[in-house]
Structure 1
Amino acid sequence: MNLIKDAINTAIDIIRQGGIIVYPTETFLGLGGNGLELSVVQRIQALKKRPAHKPLPLIIGGLGQLEEICYLTPFSLELARDFWPGPLSILFRAKEIIPFGVKDAAGMVSVRLTPHPVARQLCTFSGYPLIATSANLSGKPPCTLCSDLDPEVLEKVDFVLDVPPEPTGELPSTLVRMLGGKEIEILRHGVISEGELSQKGYKVVRKA
């Protein structure tokens, strides 16, 4: 147990120092660091060979962090509280503190409150939302085991946090955009199904 605690504390220190780490999430292994630091964003984009026009998603440890980084509406808070913590990523309007590369050209940012206990600790105790892109090169499959990480990823990160519980690896988080009222659009299908959204009273709109 002390070894796990020490590893988590090391990861938190590296995040605070502007480094990047591999860490477990509820879906796949994540590649991340301080989501408010432009140099971290740029380093992760370069490591993954990720196109600059594809923004990086964030995870948070609590709703307090959400209020610090996003402009919220009663509807967006309702949606978050209905499914968080959980694998539902929601597009919010980003505050000015969010760098480009995390927010998109329209000023939106993808955020989820992770249910993974270790990932939540990293956000909470580092004091930052974390970039939460999958720990693979762009175009390669994501992985759940550190032993399956690409050598190129291993060479360029500052720390690999290999602690339980392991990611499930079944599906990515579901990504949604709020359209108004209780209408939403699914931008990426994942763990949270359309049926689960409908059961909570949300109308899924398919745009032409």
Structure 2
Amino acid sequence: MLKTEIQKALDVLKDGGVILYPTDTVWGLGCDATNEAAVEKINAIKGRASDKSFIILLDNDSKLQSYVSEVPDVAYDLIEYAENPLTIIFSGAKNLAKNVVHEDGSVGIRVVKHEFCQQLIQRFRKPITSTSANLSGEPTPAYFDKISDEIKEAVDLVVDFEQELRSDKKPSTIMKLAPGGQFSFIRR
């Protein structure tokens, strides 16, 4: 079943579509983070301003240098030792759709430790976006059954994996990391 769902998600991502999928935190809306038109579809689905940046997911910290100009050494330790999902905002984003990147040139990246996400991103060979599966301004749904039908009907694929889980997951911790290694918490 996992392999089948990953293949379906891969096909949708390659076609520039949007998936509703489980992550290491809350359910997310995802697309190819290098495809500007796909990213715009997520903004339309959420009713979200197109000037808001996205978090992107990677399967391995060795890929950070492909999407960030300068990765401070401390980033690898933070990722390795984080007990909870951690999104790090890096300066100098590169090789991403411009509507994924914040206006100051930064991007939030989370290296996922989640079976479905890791395998999907590894096979896709590109980062995918992750934004909570809710309409803009509405609460973040804690699990699949709390996601609105409007969102479920608007995406190209609802991944059939972990839909039955009812644990209240929380969004990731967000930390801003300067090129020199100084960091501050944005969301704990």
Same fold (TM over 0.5): yes
Q: Shift of the alpha carbon at 1:184?
A: 1.9
AA paired with 2:185? I
Indicate the residue corresponding to 2:51 in structure 1. 53
Gaps of 5+ in 2: none
Q: Shift of the alpha carbon at 1:15?
A: 1.0
Indicate the residue corresponding to 1:186 in structure 2. 185
Equivalenced residue count is 186
Q: Shift of the alpha carbon at 1:168?
A: 4.3
Instruction: Please tell me whether residue 117 in structure 1 is matched to residue 115 in structure 2.
Output: yes
Indicate the residue corresponding to 1:99 in structure 2. 97
Q: 1:183 to 1:66 in 2, by over 3 A?
A: closer
When the two structures are superposed, what TM-score results if normalisation uses the length of structure 2? 0.88
**Alignment partners' CA distance in 2, 1:35 and 1:169:** 27
When the two structures are superposed, what TM-score results if normalisation uses the length of structure 1? 0.81
- What is the percentage of aligned positions where both structures have the same residue? 28
Indicate the residue corresponding to 2:136 in structure 1. 138
Q: Shift of the alpha carbon at 1:94?
A: 3.7
Contact 1:26–1:167 under 8 Å retained in 2: no
Deviates more, 1:160-169 or 1:39-48: 160-169
RMSD of aligned residue pairs (Cα, Å): 2.1
SS of equivalent to 1:186: strand
AA paired with 1:116? H
Instruction: Please tell me whether residue 161 in structure 1 is matched to residue 159 in structure 2.
Output: yes
Higher relative contact order (CA 8 A, sep 6+): 2
**Alignment partners' CA distance in 2, 1:96 and 1:148:** 35
- 1:98-129 CA distances to partner (integer Å, 9 max, x unpaired)? 22221111100000111111011111111111
Instruction: Please tell me whether residue 173 in structure 1 is matched to residue 160 in structure 2.
Output: no
Deviates more, 1:152-161 or 1:75-84: 75-84
Gaps of 5+ in 1: 190-208
Instruction: Please tell me whether residue 152 in structure 1 is matched to residue 171 in structure 2.
Output: no
**Alignment partners' CA distance in 1, 2:26 and 2:168:** 5
Indicate the residue corresponding to 2:28 in structure 1. 30
Q: Shift of the alpha carbon at 1:180?
A: 6.6
AA paired with 2:39? V
Contact 1:27–1:87 under 8 Å retained in 2: yes
Q: Shift of the alpha carbon at 1:66?
A: 1.6
- 1:68-101 CA distances to partner (integer Å, 9 max, x unpaired)? 11121223333333328x5100011244312222
Q: Shift of the alpha carbon at 1:178?
A: 2.0
SS of equivalent to 1:110: strand
Q: Shift of the alpha carbon at 1:182?
A: 5.6
Contact 2:89–2:108 under 8 Å retained in 1: yes
Q: 1:60 to 1:180 in 2, by over 3 A?
A: closer
**Alignment partners' CA distance in 1, 2:89 and 2:166:** 23
**Alignment partners' CA distance in 1, 2:66 and 2:151:** 31
- 1:30-78 CA distances to partner (integer Å, 9 max, x unpaired)? 1001111101111111111112232111111112322211121223333
**Alignment partners' CA distance in 1, 2:109 and 2:30:** 13
Instruction: Please tell me whether residue 77 in structure 1 is matched to residue 79 in structure 2.
Output: no
